[in-house]
Structure 1
Amino acid sequence: MYIPSLLSSALLLGLSATVSAWNRLEKDNAVSLLHFPTDLKKKLIRYQALLVIDHEVGLSQLVRDYGTNDFRNNMLAHAALGNIFDLPTVLTSSSDSGPNGLLLKEITEMHPNATFIRRQGEVNAWDNADFRAAVRATGKKQLIIGGIVTEVCTTFLALSLIDEGYEVFANTEASGTFDSRLAEDANRRMERAGVTLMGMFAIACDLMRDWRNTPGLNELLPFLDKYQFGYGLVARHHAGSIQNGTLSPIELTLI
Structure 2
Amino acid sequence: MNQVPVSAAPAPVSAPAALALGDDALVLSHRLGEWAGHAPVLEEEVALANIALDLLGQARVLLSLVGDEDELAYLREERAFRNLQLVEQPNGDFAHTIARQLYFSTYQMLLYGQLAAGDGPFAPLAAKAVKEVAYHQDHAEHWTVRLGDGTDESHERMQRGCDALWRFTGEMFQPVEGVDVDWQAMAAAWHESITSVLERATLTVPEGPQRGAWAAGAGRQGLHTEPFGRMLAEMQHLHRSHPGATW
Question: Given the two structures, how large is their TM-score scaled by the length of structure 2?
Answer: 0.28
Q: Higher relative contact order by CA 8 Å / sep ≥ 6: 1 or 2?
A: 2
Question: Given the two structures, how large is their TM-score scaled by the length of structure 1?
Answer: 0.27
Give the helix-richer structure, 1 or 2.
Answer: 2
Which one has a bigger Cα radius of gyration?
A: 1
Give the strand-richer structure, 1 or 2.
Answer: 1
